[in-house]
Amino acid sequence: MDMAAESGVLKQHLIDPEICIRCNTCEATCPVQAITHDSRNYVVDAAKCNLCMACIPPCPTGSIDNWRTMPIVRAYSVEEQLTWDSLPAELTTDELAASGVAADAEPAVEPVAPSLPAAVSGETAFSSAQYGTTLPPWSAAHAYTNLYGPKAADKSVTATVVGNVRVTEVGKQYDTHHIVLDFGAMPFPVLEGQSIGVVPPGVDEQGRAHHARQYSIASPRNGERPGYNNVSLTIKRVLEDHSGKPVRGVASNYMCDLQVGDKVQVIGPFGSSFLMPNHPKSHIVMICTGTGSAPMRAMTEWRRRLRASGKFEGGKLMLFFGARTKEELPYFGPLQSLPKDFIDINLAFSRTPASPKRYVQDLMRERAADLAPLLADPNAYFYVCGLKAMEEGVVLALRDIAKQAGLDWDTIGTALKKNGRLHLETY
């Protein structure tokens, strides 16, 4: 929108910095690249936003669902939003009138439909995000969300560290930990696929309290230790940024250095769609890299416990798990002990010396004969978690597998989204 050429009032889309857990879902979903961020805040550019609402359903906290009626000439800039610690109040009728806006003025921009997937619209570009669903499987258990947080009745809950073990082999830059937090008598119900926010102590370089960091839960619904009110997390110590520049991640280093007995401030839980199916004979295909294995571990362990109880007849479990080397793969040892008739494990390593690079999408194509029937099966669900760079390759692999099997991808892709079957959680 050319705001300089417009007059009147704008329904400006804003993100609440008090609630946002910086999960990047909104920026990854936005079809017009209207959302950006810095080290502190996620913000919406009013000059680009077309109110398509594509970013609303995936947000786990509701921080994205905020609006302010503004004179277009006074719309909040990206630069201004990046400085906020909280949302500004709505302008009063008198304040709008002082800016020349009539009381009955209509917004200059009306909502429009989100853009269609490339395969449907006829565009040449492929948009993997357009196939990801925001709906949980029909048989998923009810998820409790936002019980604790900046604007909840209870700001946060205190958890106690009851376990902290390393789950990767020696190599400082690949230091990944399995951390168990116990909530005692405080209610904190979770499901496989949900996440929590950890609030690091202290302040940033500007003297403001650190914002929460989001971590996927790696334990099943009845606890890391069955029957106890605890959760586990899979956290990699961050010692460099995406460009390789040395940087010490505030939350990851804080968490990896915790000792048994230490206290941690937690908010959440978050997430109401990346949930596993609960109906008998449902199939689950899990595709992940690195610490994206956390929700996959939770789902696998819940199915394993159900199997051991003899009270649930589960369908197929397939895992496609990628890392640079075997030494960097979290939980490599425990994975080897899972029964072959329980889970079908496929490991991809991209940096093994004297071996060709292999990625999860390569393994998926090798297993096309097994994946194609699952794509067509309404009882099969696909979960993708890990670095954003993997997402497009994985969804393209699914598309190619469908086409090679003689399936209509437009029909399959639409069904995956509409029926809550393809879940994308990348960062």
Task: Please tell me the class of the 3-115 domain.
Answer: alpha beta
**Mean pLDDT estimate for the chain:** 89
The most confident of the ranges 74-78, 238-242, 377-381 is: 377-381
| Other C-beta atoms lying within 10 Å of the C-beta of residue 180 | 22
Of 216, 252, 282, 293, which residue is the catalytic one?
216
pLDDT band (50, 70, 90) for residue 170: low
Sign of the CA dihedral 338, 167, 258, 296?
negative
C-alpha atoms less than 13 angstroms from C-alpha of 265 in its C-beta half-sphere: 15
Mean pLDDT of 282-292: 96
Say whether pLDDT at 187 is over 50. yes
DSSP 365-388: HHTHHHHHHHHH-TTEEEEEEE-G
| pLDDT of the residue at 1 | 44
CATH 3.40.50.80 placement within the chain: 128-141+273-426
CATH 2.40.30.10 placement within the chain: 157-270
Distances 178 to 127, 219, 295 between C-alpha atoms, Å:
34, 10, 13
Mean pLDDT of 118-140: 75
52 catalytic? Reply is: no
Of 76, 131, 215, 254, which residue is the catalytic one?
215
216 catalytic? Reply is: yes
pTM to 2 decimal places: 0.86
350 catalytic? Reply is: no
The most confident of the ranges 2-16, 138-152, 367-381 is: 367-381
Of 93, 75, 90, 96, nearest to 1 by C-alpha is: 75
215 catalytic? Reply is: yes
Question: Could you tell me the CATH superfamily of domain 157-270?
Answer: Translation factors (2.40.30.10)
Q: What is the CATH topology of the domain spanning 128-141+273-426?
A: Rossmann fold (3.40.50)
Q: Which 3 state secondary structure label does DSSP give 160?
A: strand
Say whether pLDDT at 172 is over 80. no
Please name the amino acid found at residue 254.
Y
| Omega before 269 within 30 of 0, i.e. cis | yes
Mean pLDDT of 352-362: 93
Of 42, 49, 385, 391, which residue is the catalytic one?
385
Q: Which 3 state secondary structure label does DSSP give 286?
A: strand
121 catalytic? Reply is: no
- The residue assigned the tokens 């362990």 is 301
